[in-house]
Structure 1
């Protein structure tokens, strides 16, 4: 039998055979996919670079604790607390110690002002305006509050701490603007606080709360006392001294809406006689940016300078009771008078 020979297919015929074996719908689908893929890639990559971090931040923020709502700050007061005295007429048989004990609730007056230390009695005679060894009925003396406190509220302008918290960035997450934490004041901070448009004080605090520049703080503090030679525990303030620039030791401390229940109580700030006397005298000013914060039922016009007695409880906390004495400052006489 003669051998059979098969003609070889040409390349064109091979291509034609391959194309005929592919469904025509697939041939139509491929160029359409190419036309869609090119612009999708071109525009999708930049869009994805923006969308994915945004979605990451969204879920990160959703899972994070809610940020506190900023507390609206009160307006800075235009009237400041004023140190001062009140007048008293000496009764028959009264001594300086008795007057201070009964009228100013100074139970340890005989120990603070003692004949054993003549310099202390001399300083008291100067303070009341009469010689304690020559008191006579009908004499008028000036009585001042011992180891007085002052109530303040103000805007933090500067925070100086013994140690600062280091803020660590969160890896792989673009948070945008990192939330800043305040310095660590658990070992003590010195705050520069603006308490009036033209008045700033230095406030010594020790708190676990976060204190930032721009925070509003409330505090009661030891009013600066007059410096008297050889009498380190002299108990009276200097009525002529300005509060601007003074350094005060704070107690009953609060930052914005958060009160520090673990802050120092006022009877822990030496020297004082709060526990012995059963309370403390407080200088303050009525109004929303001052004494109104403590909700004392004073019923006086805003901006009234007052001197009031606070009663201490067993835990060292000070409270204003219904029948506690209250005096208001008289600008004409520069003395405190009964309300």
Structure 2
């Protein structure tokens, strides 16, 4: 039975982010399928294995499956793990690096899958969407689960400051407050996010500017899904992986389009009558079922089984270099032009 190592720089506060949460959660689930450990490579921590030690203990190629995911550090990690069995657990896209031939890509969204299907079309590709942690599904006050209606929710509009746009924070929030709505801008650590979302009628998430300014993508966009699991009406941007789950005017509603007045009017209407703005119970249940731990484990089980059947002693296919494809296309155009010219003579 193979062993799986999930690589993260560390788990201390300086590394806390959505990517770390996903790595920790996924590692716990994969551990139900294969023996799995978390491995740090920047900060040595007493509770976890350390990459340098492991590389000395097991010569390449070894039997271990190494899972890398940490954005800009992936190329460096791949070089250190050369000759070993490596999986790229692809979150965001846009980092600009290429993958060695044969390295499987486990993409967490269709947006990321499409990116690598273009950039590494000969690498094995799999779709493994992230799962919601159980407390969102077990305690979320949504349709059919002790839904809290408008009068029971003390917060009219909830905005999380991190990744939010200047438009939302600088224009929309003041406009909504001016009309008397209770708007909470959450900016620090919250001990119980489920309770905060359960207490909110409308949730606003506008990350397009944030990711565009960083030159990267919204890798998996769980916050709007978490909000819907708690019965919130969601107004959001639809960039990158958010388009995997949010269908405009059906599941979520676009924010920051048209005009400020139109946003204000729609949000006020949704605060007054949330049930008219939520997705149907059937649609929401279908969406949430696709992001359960059971669904994630099923996809990982299938993907792991597939890569086990791939021969390790054969040369993997390589993609054609872009410059060569374009050169061949130009040569083809020149040859066609010359043929037409000759045929006229």
User: TM-score, normalised to structure 2's length?
Assistant: 0.23
- Whichever of the two has the greater Rg, that structure is 1
